[in-house]
Amino acid sequence: MHAAPRDRIEPDLPAWLPPIVLTYLDHTCSGRPLRQVAAARGCAPSTILRQVRRIEARRDDPLIDDAMERFATLFTISSTTEGSHHMSAVPKQYPVVDDDTVAREGRRILRRLCEGDSFLAVGQGMPQAVVLKGETDPRPIAKLPREVAQAFVLQDWVSCFRSGRITRYRITDAGRAALRRLLNEKHDRRVAARGDAASPSPFLQQEADVIPLPVRDAEGGTRTLTVNLAESPLAVLARRRDRGGAPFLSDMLVTAGELLREDFEQAQLGPRIGQNWERFMTAGLDASPAEDGEVPAHDAARDRVGTALAALGPGLGDVALRVCCYLEGLETAEKRMGWAARSGKIVLRIALQRLHQHYTAQNRL
């Protein structure tokens, strides 16, 4: 009995299946020689041989071995159905996970696997896999069908780091890239459905920790300051706890530090990394203050930064400027200022407390 042609077999298989797996199944299950598979794929027979050996080497993984058995059954059914109409018995056909399920579960599970100490665990003969968090006392945080976990392994989204009765997997770089792509595709579909392209993409925001902070402007009104804590050294200290279990930095202190940083950015006091075209673009214009005494926004922001640093004084103003404005880490700030190790966080908290008192006196907090 001859094997069915490629275009009569592959439509029964999911689109997410990697080409290397299709090549392996085509050779091992359909019985096609390496040269025929290579001619159909448009590559050298040695390339097909390397792909086949790669899958064979990975069959020590129980998920991959089980998946190869299931897909081999599908190939057998397709071949026997196309090649003969008189079969005494048809092998059992296992369910195949479709593309929508893989994408949906990928967004849900890969996001949990990105957490620091989480991993995917699969037991022998168990119909489900589970995502556990914690090394010493792991607790379940998500469940998924075994077939979906097989799809993750076949696409190299997760890799095995401990085998045994319970095999453990961690997310790979390919899995993180797949999560960014899946989140971005979902965002694009939502934007297309609403007809609004103004919302930010999760591809750019998945590493962000954006929170709103209410502050008062110079006119006495209240506005919201949007802050990305993921890019600020204050976020690290804000997540730490003291001996009593309270946050090392309260929200009020974080708000004071971010308010100093906003004034610093508006004052354009940061280092320039390119050519300054401001004077060229404003040639011939009068940059002097207006007759009514109105001060430009960046000059007013520069005055606010200077007043705040003067209120802090030497030492406290230096650490606030380095950490809040220049976004230096505490270890870097300690080395540059010649301080003892692990002393910077105490000085920084005192500086933020003084800064909060300063902004409160100015009715800005």
Pick the CATH number of 99-177 from 1.10.3470, 1.10.10, 3.40.50, 3.90.660: 1.10.10
The span from the CA of 238 to the CA of 248, in Å, is: 6
The span from the CA of 132 to the CA of 113, in Å, is: 9
pLDDT score of 277: 46
The span from the CA of 176 to the CA of 19, in Å, is: 20
pLDDT score of 157: 93
Residue of 86 and 175 predicted with greater confidence: 175
pLDDT score of 76: 59
Alpha-carbon distances, residue 62 vs 122, 153, 166 (angstroms) = 9, 10, 10
CA nearest 321: which of 335, 300, 306, 342? 306
pLDDT score of 365: 75
The span from the CA of 359 to the CA of 354, in Å, is: 9
Q: Mean pLDDT for the chain?
A: 76
**Residues 3-62 pLDDT 10s:** 333 443 444 677 888 888 888 888 887 778 888 888 888 888 888 888 888 888 888 888
Q: Would you call 285 exposed, middle or buried from its count of C-beta atoms within 10 A (0-12, 13-18, 19+)?
A: exposed
pLDDT score of 350: 93
User: Domain extents for the chain?
Assistant: 6-83, 99-177, 210-270+294-361
86-96 average pLDDT score: 48
Residue 223 has pLDDT above 70, yes or no: no
**Residues 185-221 pLDDT 10s:** 876 777 677 665 445 555 445 555 555 656 566 566 6
CA angle, 327 then 230 then 329, to 5°: 30
* Region class of 17: left (phi > 0), else alpha (psi between -120 and 50), else beta: beta
Residue of 295 and 106 predicted with greater confidence: 106
3-state SS assignment for residue 132:
strand
Furthest C-alpha separation in the chain: 99
pLDDT score of 4: 38
**Residues 138-187 pLDDT 10s:** 889 999 999 999 999 999 999 988 888 889 999 998 898 888 888 888 76
Phi–psi pair at 56, nearest 5 degrees? -60, -40
Residues contacting residue 315 through CB under 8 Å, at least 6 positions apart: 347
